[in-house]
Amino acid sequence: MTPPDFFYNEDMDAFIFILNFLGTLAFAASGAMIGLKKNMDIFGVCILGLTTATGGGVIRDLILGLTPPMAFRDPTSAVVALVTSAVFFSRQVRQVLMHNQRRYDLLLFWMDALGLGAFTVIGVELAFSRAAQPTFFLLVFVGTLTGVGGGVIRDLLAQEVPYIFVKHVYACASLAGAMLCAGMWTHVDSMDAMLVGMAAVVLIRFLAAHYHWNLPKSKM
């Protein structure tokens, strides 16, 4: 006997909530850590964490015509991002992170990778469920933009060259994960597609960092 559809809907809603919470927490942490490295005050650290965690989603919602964006309709993500940023600004956490460069780099990497993977597949899911004609290109475009958008805003506010343009195939990992997730969407369970897509993003980021993979750069 097949369970009613609403069980699947409830399971998917819970799954999306968990992924969104994980992505928000991870990206807020990465934004706050960049703020700490730039010696920003608590307001700057919190704003950087907030924009990193919500920026990609806001851009995604505007593209999909979801206005006002979800970040303004439901403050949960904003609250999680601000609390996370404030925790990272606390003296105890700062002492642990800022006096050990290796620990700082490792935590920043994993927070960024997890946030990138989670938000990439959430973007694919939302594009599929909300767009009138969810083409493969739209799913991949929205997924990738959701994943990298917050990081681009973070880097610009921190006066850095956006990470996606210079380091370890960052955007390409999001693109590959979005393509994999979108390609599997109609062939397997949607949660399985999202898990595989997210795992692919994190794996590519790990391999790129471990083996120092970078895209070819222009040289004068």
Could you report the per-residue pLDDT of 119-131, keeping only the tens digit for each? Answer: 999 999 999 999 9
Q: Where are the alpha helices (DSSP H) in the chain?
A: 5-37, 42-63, 70-73, 76-89, 91-98, 101-130, 136-157, 170-184, 190-210
Task: Give 72-75's long-range contacts (Cβ < 8 A, gap of 24+).
Answer: none
Mean per-residue pLDDT, 146-156: 94
- Per-residue confidence (pLDDT) for residue 10, from 0 to 100: 75
Of 85, 148, 157, 83, nearest to 119 (Cα)? 148
Q: Closest Cα partner for 158 from 44, 22, 13?
A: 44
The amino acid sitting at 158 is A
- Check residue 43 and give its pLDDT: 96
Burial (CB < 10 A; 0-12, 13-18, 19+), residue 63, is middle
Given a cut of 50, is residue 7 above it in pLDDT?
Answer: no
Instruction: Pick the more confident residue, 18 or 1.
Output: 18
Q: What mean pLDDT comes out for the span 199-209?
A: 94
Provide the pLDDT for residue 101. Answer: 86
What secondary structure letter does DSSP report for 165? G
Q: What is the pTM of this model?
A: 0.91
Sequence-distant (6+) residues with CB within 8 A of 78 are 50, 53, 54, 71
The sign of the torsion formed by the CA atoms of 153, 155, 159, 162 equals negative
Q: Identify the helix (H) or strand (E) that includes residue 107.
A: helix 101-130
- Give the Cα-Cα-Cα angle 74, 78, 84 (nearest 5 degrees): 145
CA 167, 96, 201, 66 torsion-angle sign: negative
Among 10, 15, 20, 8, which Cα is nearest to 123's? 20
Give the per-residue pLDDT at 143: 97
- Residue 169, amino acid: V
Q: How far apart are CA 108 and CA 49, in angstroms?
A: 12
- pLDDT-above-70 percentage for the chain: 94
